[in-house]
Every structure is written in C-alpha cells, then in structure tokens.
Structure 1
Amino acid sequence: MPDHAPSGTDTSRTGPLSHLTVLDLSRILAGPWTTQILADLGARVIKIESISGDDTRRWGPPFLHNEAEQPSDAAYFTCCNRNKESVCVDFSNPEGAELIRTLAKSADILVENFKVDGLKKYGLDYASLHKMNPRLVYCSITGFGQTGPYSARAGYDFLIQGMGGLMSITGQPETAAQPAEPLKTGVAIADEFTGMYAATSILAAIAHRDRTGEGQHIDCALFDCQVAMLANQGSNWLVGKRTPRPMGNNHPNLVPYRAYPVQDGHVIIACGNDRQFQSLCNVLELSTIGTDPQFQTNANRVANRDQLESILEDRLSHYSREQIIKALEAASVPCGPINTIPDVFDDPQVAAREMVVPMTRSDGSDIPTVAYPAKFSATPATYRSAPPKLGDHTRALLEHDLNLDARSIEALVQAGVVA
C-alpha cells in the first residue's frame, strides 16, 4: 500500500533516492515535473520560490479550499509539487542569493528553468556553483537549449508543440471541404516529456558521479525533447521522406488502428499484428475479408486502408459498445472505450492500481493527487507530504539547515529576503 504520511517537514524519507538532496529553482511544469519524480522516489526536494510563489499557484480555477473554506492554490499547482518543501527566498537580493549558494554547497542536484545565463548575475549559474561543489549535478531546462540560434527565446509548451512538429500531425485530416486545423494535445505533453527526460538524465549523471566523484551540467530543452518524441513519425520522414499529416484517429503505419463509431458511441480497436486482425474478422463474421490478399498483411491493409475501413465501419455500426468490447476482449483483440476524465478515475483498474493518493496539507486543504505510476518491488515510491503552502518550510530550513537563530530569521523576513 502507498505510504500516506502526514504533511510537514519530512524527516523519514525512504526510497532509492532518499540519500539525495535537490534544490528546485524551477517553476511552471517541466522543472517541477522533473523534481516531483525525484521526490516520489525519496529525494529531499527543496522548492525555492519567489515571494509571490510559483506562477501555477494562480493558474485557476479550480482552486483548493482550506478548513475555513477560503480559496488558496490552484489545482494546477498540485499536479507536480508533492513531497517538496516550499522555501521563499528572493535571490535577486544578495543576501538571498548567498542563502541559495550555501544550500548548494551540500546539495546533490539543482534544477532550474530560467533563461540562458539568467542566474549568472546572482552567482547561481553552473560555473559558479561547480567551483563550490564539484559533485553538483546541475540541470538547466529551457525552451531551446543553451546553444543554437533560438537559445535566447522563451519556450512554452504550446509553442514547442507547434515548432516541434507535433501539431502538424495532430487533429482531423484535411478534406475538400475543410482544411486541416493544427491542434495541440489536451495536456502540456512537451513539458511532461521534458520532465521525464530531465529526471532520467539527472539519474544517469548521479550514476556517473557515484563512479567518478564528478558532477556535471545537463542542458535539457523542450524543443529537443519534442523532436525526439516524434518517434515513428520522425523516422517515417527521415527514412521514407514522407511528410506526416494529420490523420485524426488513424495510425500512419497500422490498419485497423483507430476509433470506430458503434450504436452508442465509439470503440477503439488497435490491431498490432496480422493474428489480431484475423481474430477481429472472425468476431465480425468477416472471414472472407480476413483471407483476402488485399488485407492479409499489415502493409496491404495500409495500402488499401479506405476500402477496408468502409467494410469495418459498416459491420461495427450494428454493435453496441459493451457488446463489441466484450466479444473482442474474449478474442484477445486489443480494444477499449473512450473514457472521460471522470470515467478514468471511476475505473476499477485505477482503484486496483492505487493511482489516486489522497493527501492533506498543513492548512487543512484536502488534495487528491495522482500516484507515481511505476511499482517497485523493494523500494516503492512514497507520498510523504502534500503540495505545500507557499513558504511552508522557510523558517524550519533556515533554522535547521543554515543554523540561523530567530533574530536573524526575523531580520531576513523584515528585509523581504525570505517569507
């Protein structure tokens, strides 16, 4: 069962990364997504926020409500800031920058997503901190990377989805009556994939450091990650010089592999091999289609897509969603419904896999969060503290990590250096 420890300063971390401390100078999504992965796996993550806090605290509605039913942070903030300590430091102030440098001396990892060279003027860039802590793994997340003609540009997920090619292949196909309209995905997928690449790269750098004692700088760009995630569509162009186009729910390399209309909605049918196609034809009583040379192999089905799809659509229109899913599952043909988000969280598989983790933070706000998806047999992810209030851990960190007394802390608060 997941560990639903109470929120607050974490003193009992477990997990494969429980020996690591992360300074998180990132905000919005890609960087916080990175550091929540590390936090769920046991790392101590100190989220350094400005006095006004991470922008996503205000990206609502909907908003959380505390015990007094007062609105607080936006739900958006809660998706990627679990298991972190919130510490408010204004490092544009020299005293604040010095506090961060002191913390960096003993940190294992630092993650930031400022513009290229944006932290240099504060002495918080990689070169400056590497001199103080050669073991530090420092990950910079930007829109376009530290080099190249676009390096100075700001990069947001929507922009990257467009420039990185994803929007050119997402959406309904062009018809004689309707040009194709470019569409982004329903979540900030370029940010999320960048977070996953960044977390993977950080762990690789930690493995290198464990062998050599050397930290390093990781340059992770949303644009690069989006290009990498083009996967088969990128290869289709590089190898075959075929320009991928929007295909709606069709697959460029597989048939049948799409959503089909049935009597009461739609059903996804995803045949990944010839055996599954034969089974589909048997269920639909289309045995002659299954043995027709035009359709026997996937390559032939792709070549004769329109003819086959018309036959399948006509036959499937006679079934209800429940009826065809039950028959196809019995025949081991991959299929399923198109769920709404409420449907997803009502699904018994989601409950069985414990994918919703209820948490409560110090102001009484109840925060349901989504679990870390991988299941470890020996060192499972843990859920130790809810996404924190702004500045929830500032005073505790100053006192226990930096050994400041109450008078010194109060002076920093009054000066606006911390909050």
Structure 2
Amino acid sequence: MTDSQPLQIVELTRWTAGAVCGRLFAGLGHEVTLCEPASGHPLRAHEFTFTATAAGKRSVVCDPTLDCARWQSLLDSADVLLHDLTQSEMEQLGLDPAHLSERFPRLVTVSLTAFGLDSDFAEIPGDSFLAEAYGGLAQMIGEPDRSPLSLGGEQTAHVAGFVGLLGASLALRTREKTGTGDFVEVALSDVAAYMDWKSDVAYEIADAAPHRTGASRGSWRIVEAKDGWVGVIFLADQWPAVVELIGDDRLSDPAFLDQRIRLEREEELWPVIGDAIGRREAYEVYASAQRLGLPFGYAASAADLLDSEQLAMRGFAFPPDRRRRDAPVVSFPVPDGDEARVERAPSLGEDTLVRRPANPRAIPIAPVATCRPGAAPLAGLLVLDFGTITAGAATGRLLADYGATVIKIESSARPDRFRQWVMPGSVSSETPVTSPMFRSNNVGKIGLCVDLKSDGGRRIIHDLIRRADVLVENFRAGVTTRMGIDPETVRELNPDLVYLSLSSQGSAGPESLYGSYGSTLDLLSGLAGATGYRGGAPIWSSGEVNYPDQIVAIAGAALVAHAVAAGRTGARLDLSQRELVAWTLADQLAAFVWDGLPMCTTGNRRPGATPHDVYSTANNEWLAIACTTHEHRRALAGIIHGLPDGAQEQWWWDNQDQVDAQITEWSSDRNRDEAVAELHAVGVPAVPVCTAADRAAQPRYRERRIALRSPDGEWVKGYPLTLRGFSPTAPGPAPVLTEDVSDPESERYSDLLAKILPSGNEHAWAQPAIARSAD
C-alpha cells in the first residue's frame, strides 16, 4: 500500500452497516467500487442516507448473477470484499468462505449482517433497531416505566462499520505476513451486545438484569431550559461548582456536600435546579458550567451543529457556500491536516470519480514473510496506553486482544477513575480495590505507574516513546502538553509513531478545553435530540451504557489498526468524540439543510419501515417488529385479527397508531418467545427484546465470545467480531496499581523492558514495528 497504490475495495451491500464500512475505506483514501443492480442501491430510496454513506465511491452496475465476467474481474483485483449477504445468498453466489479461499486466496472478505450467518434469525434482513433489540442494547435505552428505545439514526450499523474496518485491517496485516486473506464476520446484534457490556458485569454482581434509567431521575438528569434542554452532569466533589452555577441559596446547605444527603433529599433539590435552568438559555448554561469545570451538555439541534463555531473551525461542518445536495454537509470525521474535502456520492454507474490519494505518509509494507498460522495480527506492536475510563482504555484493550503489547500508564496519585468505580447493583457499599468495570477495559495489559511531573518519570516515558509504535490518549486539549506527551514532543522523539488522540472536541477550537463524559456527548453530538419517545424530551444512552464511549473506542482501535496495516507511519489521528458521533447523523443533518426537516424524537419509528416498534408481552417483556415490505405486512395481517391483508402501503403509514394498538392487544398476553416464533414462522421480521439475563442464558453469546471470564473468574466483555484465521486467547489479568517507577536506571524499569521486549533484547524495539516492516 504505497502512496500510489490504495487498496481496492469491492462493495456488494444493501443495508447501512456495509455501506458505512465502505464509506470508511473511501474516506481513508482507498478505491471503493460499489456494485449496484440496474435498479440502483436500495439506499438510493433514502437520498440523504445514500449520500452520507456512498460519498467518495465509484459505482458500477454489476449483478454477480448476470455479469459473471465483470464480477470475476472485480474480485481478481480486489483486496477487500464487503457484503451483507445471508448464508444462503453467499452459497448461491459462490462467496462462502470455502469457495472464496480457493478462488481468491489473498482476498479479505468482511461479512456484515444483522444477526450473523448461523443465528436463528440469520435470514431476517435487519436494521440497527432489530439488532439493538435482540442484542439487548434497546432494553437499556429509555425511561424505566416506558418502552425500550432504539438509539436515534442507525447507530449500531455505524459501529458495525467501524468493526468491519477493524477486522479488515487485522486481516490485511496478517496477509502481509502469510500471503493469504481471511473471512471477517460482523453481526450487528453481537456489536449491540458488546456495547452493553456493563449490563453483563452488573448482572453477574447482582444476579438481576439491570434496567434502563432514563434521563429524568437519578444523580444526572436532562432538564428543560428556556429554549431547549441541558444535561446536568457532575461528579460528587463538584457540588460547590453546581451551587455557584445555579446561584440559589437553598442549595448552599452544608448538608448537601454529602452525596448521600443529596440523594435522600433529591425531591427538594431538583426543583430548585430545574427552576433556575428553566429561566436560562441552554447554550448559556452549558458554556457557564464548562467554565466552572462542570461537564454539562446541551441538546444540540441540527441548526446548532451546522452553525457551531467549534465544528466550523475544525472543518467538520461545511459552510453554506461549500454544501451541495449530492454530498454530505459534514466532513469525514478523521482530519488529515488538509482542508476538509466535499466528497459527493456517485450517480448510478458513475465509475470515474477522482479519488484523493492515499495518505502521503504511506510507506511500502514488508514483503510477504513466513508467519505461523493463527498468529495474532498485531503481534510485535508496542502501544503506550494513556487512556482512561472507557473511550481511551477500551481502545487499548481491543489492540491488546489482537496481539499488541499494551502498556497502561498511570500515576499512583492519579490512577484511572474506573479502578474504584462502584458498580450499580453491587451488594457492597465499600469502594472496591479493583472495579469490575476497570477489568473489562484493561485485561491483557501491562501496568506502569510513573509520575510525569518528575524528571525521572518523563525520562522513562520518553524512552518508551522512542521504542513504541502507537500512543493512545483521551485527555482534553492542553493536558498532554503539561504531561510532556503532546504530538509535537512525541514527533521529535519518534517521528514514526502513530498518535491517536480521542479528546472530547478535538485539539483546537473555542470548545476544545471543555470536558465531557459519554452523557455529555450524547447531547452535544445531536444524538440525544434524535433519541426519545415521539414528540418527547431528548433521551441519552445513560451512564449504564455511555454509547459515545463505545463507538469512540471501537473507531479508535479500527483507525490504529488501519494505520498499522497500511504502513502509515507517523500518522496523527486527531479525533473529536463529538464529531464522530455527530457524523453518524449526517443524513439527518442533510435533511435539515435541504428539506428543512429538524432532528426530532420519533420513538422507534423510522422512515421506510412500518410497523417498526416494540410491543409488550406477558411477564413485562417485549418483542420488536420491523416490516419493510408489502410481504412483511401481509404476513403480519395474516395472524393479527383486524389488520387488513390487502391494504396499500400508504394505509399502514396513515394508521400507525391503530396498527400499534392492535399488535399490542395481540402480543400483551402472549409469551414473548412464543409470539416471536409465531411471527417468524410466517415471515414477519421480529425478535425478542433481550436483557443481560437472556444473554447469560443463550449459548450463542458464549460461543461467539461476546463476553467471557477473566483469569480471576470475573465476567468481562469479549470481542465484537470473528476472524476465521485467528481467535484471541483469554486475556491476562488487568494490571494492579503499584508505586511509581521513578528512575529509568532502576531495576523495576529494567524488569519492565525485559517483560515487553522480544527475546530480552533491550534494543529490539528501538525502531517501531511499522517502520521495521518496511526494512
């Protein structure tokens, strides 16, 4: 993969996840050929979704069943094939793993389906909604006394696209060593379950499935402002700053300094906060809170995002004079240092789009070398992990899962907050020595504690930087400079190192110094404003899920793996968590610009599908239905009395409330799984809305290793994808907190080097692995 040889990607998809994966490759500078039927890609029926996911691709009209010669030619020259075919469709086209490995031995194939190739629901064409229901994520979104919700937009499909990029990059790196490709399987329902890993850990502790907590109760809440909504988000020791922000003497009672008292008297406290915020504008409250160090957010609308000075300065939101209807109105979320490009989607059969060149830092990958079968794709890679909580730490965990040597760097005085995080549902009120949450994000790493304020500590870290291949951090802008690990300093020490920054809003701009948690980003990205009950208040993914952390971690790991596989030494990946999540709503932002449609809460209803919602069943359980065709609706009418089996599609759209009521009447006294089986038997796309308890009982999730046991017997999150050629070994324990190592000449530091360097050669990693691969 040199500057003049981008990867050749062939895409044969119908649904959003595969289209997003192809868009990621195109945005990263590769040649993506979208194969479409003569009638066009199905997403063309949804103009702005197609534009958002097809930008930068070529289009060819090629039906593999009708134009075998052209299809064969495309695959002959392809590096990666992306598809969302079911198992039966793969076999009909000769694209099953056995045939592919025989006919195209170097080809890397990525399969992106809703439920996997061997699931009971494998033949159901599904979207993020059904995947989030079956995977259990929907069970955790929404208010506790109302129905489960899907996240706004197609969130799990976007995350699955990044998982596909990760899997393809791992397989490509292995191919450079072995000469053979691999088959990568990504199931959206697995990805949804993987993102809900906290529920698995909580279920293990409390022996009861956790429940959604909503945004209108608890220690953090979404409160209505004069012109919108504000997320009141703060840590226990930040209460004095909250009092200063609200400015009401009733909150100055010294008793409120005790978090337990605040919880006991919340019915007295929250009306005061609500009244004060209700008299102020949402953005003003947000900005004032951030100046006090409070990680508040506000529910950004489409207009807010497109007019944001922060997003405009970073080139993410295009100004009006650069917008065009056949291109996204926001840029690709991975800045490359140049002016953000407006990349349009192709018309049907347009295969002459001029692609931008691959990253100019790309260098030749090593010639094919021998490598034992089943070797870890990232073996030999040294990663310095300064990540904390989830976004950064989980990125390092994923890199460790696939073979990288990852050193988790902390200070004994300022350790990762997750080390002592008390889990919801814990039977003990004592602060744990090591939280189960911490284990899930940090198993398989090597620990190192240093004080970066000391000369010895900086010398140790700078020595490791000279040896390392990758550095990961998720601090707000300015922190790395104070620590002596900013990109400029690192570049001087090791120009070949891949530097991944996962800050809240990027490294520059008027809001770059602002802090956030996942719930903050739910709001600032616009996602909360697109998630919620019809016509109701915004809903966030809550601290029990923290969806933005999950997509950021997976995207971070995917982009690092891609940089490594592509030989892009010295890459600086300056990701803004806010921009990344907002990018998943690019189609809704375009609909606002061109058709004046604001982002709003629609419950589980989506354009292009009806009925499309969850329905209550016996025993306080739920099932999900998503009908996208006339055949689906006719089958549904065949088993639910009162629904017309001959009605035109428009009738279903005009009578959605009536249809939902009749389905609920039918389902409410039925056993959930029996009702799903009855619907499934006649061809209605339906799945159970699962919980963490369901996942624990289903062999599928253990077999596919979505969750697993740590070496000390604790339940931890597993892996979001399957590679046919490599299965990760069980991770080692999470690192324990130790005293700081203060001297690079000390025995403790020598012991660390002996542990991480191959064959005990202290000079073996004096040159990074990415550069070594080009020797």
Normalising by structure 2, report the TM-score: 0.45
2:380 and 2:660 map into 1 onto residues whose CA distance is: 55
Q: Is the 8 A contact 1:263 1:320 kept in 2?
A: yes
2:653 corresponds to? 302
- Selected match of 2:422 from 60, 80, 94: 60
2:476 corresponds to? 115
Q: Give the C-alpha shift of residue 321 in structure 1.
A: 2.3
2:389 is the alignment partner of 1:42: no
Q: Give the C-alpha shift of residue 35 in structure 1.
A: 1.0
SS at match of 2:723: coil
1:304-326 deviation digits (Å, cap 9, x = unpaired):
42343334334444644233212
Output aligned runs, 1:113-192, within 5 Å: 113-174=474-535, 180-186=536-542, 187-192=545-550
2:694 and 2:640 map into 1 onto residues whose CA distance is: 27
Q: Is the 8 A contact 1:63 1:74 kept in 2?
A: no
2:600 corresponds to? 245
Q: Is the 8 A contact 1:64 1:71 kept in 2?
A: no
1:254 and 1:16 map into 2 onto residues whose CA distance is: 40
Q: Give the C-alpha shift of residue 384 in structure 1.
A: 2.9
- Selected match of 2:690 from 334, 339, 342: 339
1:279 corresponds to? 635
1:62-115 deviation digits (Å, cap 9, x = unpaired):
6999xxx99421122122112111111111112101100100101000001222
2:314 corresponds to? none
1:51 corresponds to? 412
In structure 2, the CA distance between the partners of 1:154 and 1:318, relative to structure 1 (3 Å rule), is closer
In structure 2, the CA distance between the partners of 1:86 and 1:62, relative to structure 1 (3 Å rule), is farther
Q: Give the C-alpha shift of residue 370 in structure 1.
A: 1.9
2:664 and 2:731 map into 1 onto residues whose CA distance is: 49
> What amino acid is aligned across from residue 43 of structure 1 in structure 2?
A
1:289 corresponds to? 644
- Selected match of 2:730 from 383, 391, 400: 383
> What amino acid is aligned across from residue 572 of structure 2 in structure 1?
H
1:279-300 deviation digits (Å, cap 9, x = unpaired):
22223356x723212xx36xx6
In structure 2, the CA distance between the partners of 1:135 and 1:401, relative to structure 1 (3 Å rule), is farther
In structure 2, the CA distance between the partners of 1:181 and 1:64, relative to structure 1 (3 Å rule), is closer
- Selected match of 2:715 from 365, 368, 372: 368
Q: Is the 8 A contact 1:86 1:393 kept in 2?
A: no
1:260 and 1:231 map into 2 onto residues whose CA distance is: 29
> What amino acid is aligned across from residue 48 of structure 1 in structure 2?
I
SS at match of 2:501: strand
Q: Is the 8 A contact 1:267 1:338 kept in 2?
A: yes
2:695 is the alignment partner of 1:348: no
Q: Give the C-alpha shift of residue 341 in structure 1.
A: 1.8
Larger deviation: 38-47 or 115-124?
Answer: 115-124
> What amino acid is aligned across from residue 229 of structure 1 in structure 2?
T
2:727 and 2:549 map into 1 onto residues whose CA distance is: 25
1:201 corresponds to? 559
2:381 is the alignment partner of 1:20: yes
In structure 2, the CA distance between the partners of 1:70 and 1:321, relative to structure 1 (3 Å rule), is closer
In structure 2, the CA distance between the partners of 1:196 and 1:373, relative to structure 1 (3 Å rule), is closer
1:63 and 1:282 map into 2 onto residues whose CA distance is: 44
- Selected match of 1:220 from 562, 575, 581: 575
Q: Is the 8 A contact 1:64 1:75 kept in 2?
A: no
In structure 2, the CA distance between the partners of 1:33 and 1:133, relative to structure 1 (3 Å rule), is same
Q: Give the C-alpha shift of residue 248 in structure 1.
A: 2.8
5+ long unaligned stretches in structure 1: 1-12, 175-179, 405-419
1:231 and 1:222 map into 2 onto residues whose CA distance is: 15
SS at match of 2:659: helix
Larger deviation: 249-258 or 219-228?
Answer: 249-258
1:301 and 1:164 map into 2 onto residues whose CA distance is: 32
Q: Is the 8 A contact 2:623 2:687 kept in 1?
A: yes
Normalising by structure 1, report the TM-score: 0.80
Q: Is the 8 A contact 2:384 2:472 kept in 1?
A: yes
Q: Give the C-alpha shift of residue 334 in structure 1.
A: 2.2
In structure 2, the CA distance between the partners of 1:92 and 1:14, relative to structure 1 (3 Å rule), is farther
Query: What is the CA RMSD across the aligned residues, in angstroms?
Result: 2.9
Q: Is the 8 A contact 2:395 2:557 kept in 1?
A: yes
SS at match of 2:548: helix
In structure 2, the CA distance between the partners of 1:238 and 1:114, relative to structure 1 (3 Å rule), is same
Q: Give the C-alpha shift of residue 397 in structure 1.
A: 6.5
Residue identity (%): 27
1:198-237 deviation digits (Å, cap 9, x = unpaired):
11221222234x2x6x312110111011101226544543
Q: Give the C-alpha shift of residue 396 in structure 1.
A: 8.2
In structure 2, the CA distance between the partners of 1:37 and 1:320, relative to structure 1 (3 Å rule), is same
SS at match of 1:119: helix
- Selected match of 1:258 from 580, 597, 613: 613
2:391 and 2:647 map into 1 onto residues whose CA distance is: 49
1:230 corresponds to? 585
Q: Is the 8 A contact 1:113 1:141 kept in 2?
A: yes
Q: Is the 8 A contact 2:476 2:503 kept in 1?
A: yes
- Selected match of 2:438 from 70, 77, 97: 77
> What amino acid is aligned across from residue 419 of structure 2 in structure 1?
R
Output aligned runs, 1:407-418, within 5 Å: none
